Structure 1
Amino acid sequence: MSMLHVVNKSPFEKTSLDSCLVYAKERAAILLIEDAVYAALKGTAFAEKVKTALKICKVYALEPDIKARGMDVAKVIDGVELVGYGEFVDLAATYDNVHSWV
C-alpha cells in the first residue's frame, strides 16, 4: 500500500516533518506544502534529513508555495521534485492513502 504524506508546518516550528520521516517507507512520498517547503532548501538544519528520505521515498515541494515565500527554486535540494497545484491533485489520486501531518 502506498502513502502520500503531506506536511504543511515549518520544520523550524513544529515536529510534523520529523514525525512524518519516522513513518515514511518505501513506495511512499512526502509532499511539502505551505511553510513545510522551508525543509526543501539546501543548507538548512533539515537538509540532511530530506536527503536521507530521498533514498527511500520521493519528496515533492509545492513550487507556488516556495515562490510565495520569496525562496529561490535553485536552492531546492537536488532530488526534491517541484510540483504545481495540478500535480498535487495527481499525487493525491495516485497514492492509495493520503496522510496530512498537522
Structure 2
Amino acid sequence: QACAGATHHVDSERLAKISSPIPKASHYGPFTLLTGECDMLMDPSNIHSMMKWMPQAETVEWANAGNEVYFQFKVEFGELIERNVKEGRERPTRG
C-alpha cells in the first residue's frame, strides 16, 4: 500500500475528467474527498491540490486520523458513507 500510494500519480486533467460527471450539487450524487491530518502515506495537503481540479467535491479532513480512517474512526466513517448514500438517493434521477 505504501508503494502504491507513493508512486501513484493522477494529473490535473485526469482529476478534472474524473470529477466532471459527478458534481456535488447535481443529480449524480455526492462526491467526497476524505483525508486524515496524520496520514503518513499521503501528504494530507494533497487534498487541497485535488480540490483545484475537483471543486464540486466535498472536502473532509479528520484530526488525529491517519491513512486508514475507516479503521480508526469506524463509526464516523460509516456515518459519512450513510450520509452520502442518503444524499444520493434524495437527488432526482437523470431523465
TM-score, scaled to structure 2: 0.39
Q: Which has the higher contact order (CA 8 A, sep 6+)?
A: 1
Q: Which has the larger radius of gyration?
A: 2
Structure with more of its chain in helix, by fraction: 2
Structure with more of its chain in strand, by fraction: 1
